[in-house]
Amino acid sequence: MHTRYPRGQSVIRLHDVSPLTWDACQEWIELGRLLSLPPMDLFVIPRHEGGPLDHGAGLPRDFVNRLKELQALGHRLWVHGWTHRGEETEDEFAGLDAVHAADRARRALNDWKAAGLPDPDGFCPPCWRMTKQALPAIARLGFPEIDLRFGVWSPAGFRLSPALSSWGGNLIMASLWDRSLVRQDRLLRMSRLPRRVVLHPQDLDGAARSSLETILDRMSNDLSG
């Protein structure tokens, strides 16, 4: 667990950061600042507009400069997939064998370096979905950490860390899940397990917004109490 959160035992991670989602991302970042929360980790999609034939897919210079400014303020920068697009859904790495998963992660890292961004703090497959065989192959690319559904991998081993995240979509189950996040957070606080509070740009317009704002407010109170 990162020492910036000694009492709340949480880290905040903002997924799906890209020029296309930046307005919503800024809202979450600003809310964290207003609540005096430590800088949240930013999970950036290196090729935000599509696949390798999309010649406009590189990260714009002004966006890269803004990310560098945020990193200087303490925001950690992670590679979040390559395009965040699979064949049919957004789980880009789901079902890929080790070779193809490592190749996509390598391409993401190449785009990252070509944009002039500093070395990433880690890697996270979109939707946290990839095969067990892909993990060691991606780790060999040199990522310090790999963020997974139930915790975080690093060369030192695996750290269990439940994630509080919206379900996604408009189904009834998704709405019920999103509204239960505050209750989930309460249970995890009782367990004393280090947890990750995961934000998405689309959460601002979804059922999870109120729950996530309540959780962030609790974290703020923990740190100021």
For residue 158, which amino acid is it?
F
123 phi/psi in degrees, rounded to 5? -135, 145
**pTM of the complete model:** 0.91
d(CA 165, CA 177): 9
The answer to whether 46 touches 72, Cβ cutoff 8 Å, is no
Q: What is the pLDDT of residue 197?
A: 97
Report d(CA 219, CA 225) in Å as an integer: 10
The region, left, alpha or beta by phi > 0 then psi within -120 to 50, assigned to residue 189 is alpha
pLDDT digits (tens, 9 = 90+) for 17-54: 998 899 999 999 999 999 999 999 999 999 876 544 45
Q: What integer pLDDT is reported at residue 25 of this predicted model?
A: 97
Q: Is the pLDDT of residue 185 over 70?
A: yes
> Residue 21 corresponds to which amino acid?
T
Render pLDDT for 118-143 as a digit per residue (tens, 0 to 9).
999 999 999 999 999 999 999 999 99
Q: What is the pLDDT of residues 49-102, one digit of tens each?
A: 654 445 446 788 999 999 999 999 999 999 999 988 766 677 899 989 999 999
Query: How far is Cα 45 from Cα 139, in angstroms, rounded to an integer?
Result: 18
Share of the chain above pLDDT 70, in %: 90
Secondary structure class of 13 (helix, strand, coil): strand
- DSSP label at 120? P
Domains and CATH numbers, the chain: 10-224 (3.20.20.370)
Candidate from 60-64, 198-202, 221-225 with smallest mean pLDDT: 221-225
What is residue 120's predicted lDDT score, i.e. its pLDDT? Answer: 98
